[in-house]
Amino acid sequence: MLNYNQVIESIFISLHVSLFSTLLAFITSIILGYWIAINSFQLKKIIVSVLGSLTSIPPVCAGLLVYLLISRSGPLGWMEILYTPTAMIVAQFVIILPIMMTLIIQYVEVEYPPFKEELISYGASKFDLIKLLLKNRSSFYLTILLIGFGRAISEYGAAAIVGGSIDHVTRNMTAMIALETAKGNILTGVILGLILISISLVISFVINFLKAKN
């Protein structure tokens, strides 16, 4: 009844897309988040508020937004990334970036000022401070990675709209669960869901292990 090859493929697609989107969002949120947190400028409060509200963007809306951009009739249609894993990575990136950025900005705004005073008296530059914060508080960043990844791998609406749930190509785990449910194979859907949760558990254990090591 269930094609094991298809299941393995969908697991691979889920991991590939979500790991990529989480990593890209993480790097972007560190760069942009630090910059926003450390500096003060006129629009800062508005930007931080908007970022906060974007954490609750409905995934379907994010998916529609990306779809309108990359559709053939959209401004980025020439890139031809609609119905490819790249589009799914972009959609998930859009969803998890605000979450990661909000967390980092909040954290740095609290950690940075006292840190800064202490170390500037030792002659450290802004860049040195950032490097230190990154190294010493790595458990915090591991947590952000976990939250972002969890959101990305469990998401269905956005990736399905821009990915098209195409067999072998963009049918990730959540799309496969939706398809099996649509075929009436409820039990199969539940089993796939349990597999997905198990994978998340493994990743969570790994992250916590890394945190403990530090």
User: Could you list the residues that contact other proteins (CB under 8 A)?
Assistant: 24, 31, 71-74, 77, 79-84, 86, 164-167, 169, 179, 181-186
Classify 7 as helix, strand or coil.
helix
Backbone angles phi, psi at 100, to 5 degrees: -65, -40
Q: Give Cα 143 distance to the centre of its chain.
A: 12
What is the distance in angstroms between the CA of the first residue and the CA of the last residue of the chain? 46
CA distances from 188 to 3, 68, 166, 193, 202 (A): 11, 33, 19, 8, 21
Of 43 and 182, which CB lies nearer to other proteins in the complex structure?
Answer: 182
Give min distance, CB of 164 to other proteins, in A: 4
Of 67 and 115, which CB lies nearer to other proteins in the complex structure?
Answer: 67
Instruction: At 98, list the tokens.
Output: 């605000």
Give min distance, CB of 195 to other proteins, in A: 19
Of 92 and 115, which CB lies nearer to other proteins in the complex structure?
Answer: 92
Of 97 and 203, which CB lies nearer to other proteins in the complex structure?
Answer: 97
Contact (CB, 8 A) for 108 and 34: yes
Give min distance, CB of 160 to other proteins, in A: 9
Give min distance, CB of 38 to other proteins, in A: 14
Q: How many CB atoms are closer than 10 A to CB 120? A: 13
Of 131 and 183, which CB lies nearer to other proteins in the complex structure?
Answer: 183
Give min distance, CB of 39 to other proteins, in A: 12
Of 208, 196, 207, 205, the C-alpha closest to 18 is 196
